[in-house]
Structure 1
Amino acid sequence: MPPTPLHLAVADDLRQRIITGDLEPGARLPSRAALAEQHHVSEQVVRRAVDMLVAEGLLFTQVGARPVVKARPSVTRLARGWYQDRPGESPFRATMAAQGRTGDWIVRSERTTASERVAERLGIAADAPVMRSDYTFMADGRPVMLSTSWEPLAITAGTPIMLPEQGPYAGKGVVERMAAIEQRITHVEEVNTARPVTAAEGERLQVTAGTLVMVIERTYATDAGARVETADIILPVDRYEVAYVIPVK
């Protein structure tokens, strides 16, 4: 195997020291010259390593001062049951309330047409009309999660739930909303991946470029096989962990 690039080796050493607590939150790194001597590399290599850790959200820098280890935010657990609606309330608000936090969101919905990828996930024709909703979820006023959802207008158009956050079912979960128009959801499909945040997502989440996010592609399906909603849920990996409880039959 080819040797590990020097800046990656330095970054990995510092990353492990931060993760294990050897470098505690609030601690300043040694000088660039000291790190270069310790790792037997140039100061330019150290600078590249530090830049990586800043992008990952492990360090922050100030002009004229050595980098500081960032405090790790409290991690919110999203249990698998988070996706199971409780009649009369929002699953997100209920989860936040259980952890002593206030959950809220802002949303923008618009009519559009399904891309090929969205159409495939919903089992509909490409360019079929859908309602797209872009959510920014907040805990205690701070953005913590993004979600973009698509619902086929062939199912919801002309019903009280066509606009997810307006009408008598505003703020309710997908299961309860769909049940109101006799669409009985029986299962959820999910695909989990991770990637760096985009610039637009980073601005909405108030995180730095390069921050890793978890992406959950979630699709709700009914007992009749109709796919009534699909969504991309974006979670910063340093703020959330997702726990799954799967029954064994």
Structure 2
Amino acid sequence: MREQPPYLHIADVLRQRIADQEWRPGDRLPSRAQLAQECGVGDAVVRRAQETLIAQGVLEGRAGSGTYVAEPRERLRMVRSQYREQTDGSLFRADMAALGKSGTWESRSEAMVPAPPNIAARLDVPEGDYCVRTSYEYLADGKPVLVSTSWEPYSITSGTLAVLPEGGPYAGMGVVRRMAEIGITVSRAVERPEPGNANAEEAVLLGVQRGALVTRIQRTYYSSEGRPVETADIVVPAVSCEIVYEVPIGA
């Protein structure tokens, strides 16, 4: 078995000291040099251990002040279920309302954006085919909880009132209802979650540290004919949200 890297061992030591309430939320940790001396390692090892715990939401760094134990954050429960698609109206707004919060979002759409190779493959269209790309930032009580980038083949909605997800009479209805309005039945969605780290842009939008742990969900909606009609990359910060999949079981 491979030996645990020193920085992960130190991260575990710091995490345990916090669990033992040697330091409480809001407390400032000793200097990096002091911790390095106490633990018998170099400053660089302590720095990397602290960066790991900051990414996990255990610690927070304050410019010019030091490193502190992070205040506990309420984690929102994001349920992924087939029943979500039966909601009349915005799925996100309904999810947040169930948690007693106000769900809103900001968006920006661009029409006729050439599909890059990975998106073309997911939508089963030729590379460079025009798509409608929409960037979203979703907020709960005004605080960011997830970001998403959606792609739809322009050939599907071109010339209809549903061409822009957040414009026209079907604005904000969501993919399933918008497609239904133009005669397309969305019959299934495929989601692929995987862990990752927030890049610089995502960190700014989500209000987390760069490199913070996130869950990336690659979602694609399919019509009843099996054609992909939308694909999206959803980024959810682990420190503030937990994702739960609800799987129906029946005969």
Gaps spanning 5+ residues in structure 2: where? none
CA RMSD of aligned residues (A): 2.3
1:199-241 C-alpha deviation (Å, 9 max, x unpaired): 1111111211111111100011111111111100110011111
Q: Is the 1:72–1:238 contact (alpha carbons within 8 Å) kept by the matching residues of 2?
A: no
**CA distance, structure 2, for counterparts of residue 21 and residue 150 of structure 1:** 47
Residue 177 of structure 1 corresponds to which residue in structure 2?
A: 178
Q: Is the 2:109–2:132 contact (alpha carbons within 8 Å) kept by the matching residues of 1?
A: yes
With the length of structure 2 as denominator, give the TM-score of the two structures: 0.89
**CA distance, structure 2, for counterparts of residue 195 and residue 187 of structure 1:** 25
**CA distance, structure 2, for counterparts of residue 47 and residue 237 of structure 1:** 21
Indicate yes or no: 2:151 matched with 1:150: yes
**CA distance, structure 2, for counterparts of residue 64 and residue 225 of structure 1:** 55
Indicate yes or no: 2:191 matched with 1:190: yes
Q: How far did 1:29 drift?
A: 2.7
Residue 133 of structure 2 corresponds to which residue in structure 1?
A: 132
Q: Is the 2:116–2:128 contact (alpha carbons within 8 Å) kept by the matching residues of 1?
A: yes
1:129-173 C-alpha deviation (Å, 9 max, x unpaired): 110000111111112110100011111111111000111111112
Q: Is the 1:216–1:232 contact (alpha carbons within 8 Å) kept by the matching residues of 2?
A: yes
Q: Is the 2:55–2:213 contact (alpha carbons within 8 Å) kept by the matching residues of 1?
A: no
Structure 1 SS opposite 2:202: helix
* Distance change (3 Å), C-alpha of 1:118 and 1:65: closer
Letter in 2 for 1:215: R
Count of residues paired in the alignment: 248
Structure 2 SS opposite 1:67: strand
Q: How far did 1:31 drift?
A: 4.8
Residue 54 of structure 2 corresponds to which residue in structure 1?
A: 54
Structure 2 SS opposite 1:201: helix
Letter in 2 for 1:162: V
**CA distance, structure 2, for counterparts of residue 63 and residue 130 of structure 1:** 41
**CA distance, structure 1, for counterparts of residue 98 and residue 234 of structure 2:** 21
Residue 116 of structure 1 corresponds to which residue in structure 2?
A: 117
Q: Is the 2:27–2:69 contact (alpha carbons within 8 Å) kept by the matching residues of 1?
A: yes
Residue 69 of structure 1 corresponds to which residue in structure 2?
A: 69
1:15-37 C-alpha deviation (Å, 9 max, x unpaired): 34546866432233345455335
Q: Is the 1:192–1:217 contact (alpha carbons within 8 Å) kept by the matching residues of 2?
A: yes
* Distance change (3 Å), C-alpha of 1:18 and 1:185: farther
Indicate yes or no: 2:205 matched with 1:204: yes
**CA distance, structure 2, for counterparts of residue 165 and residue 77 of structure 1:** 25
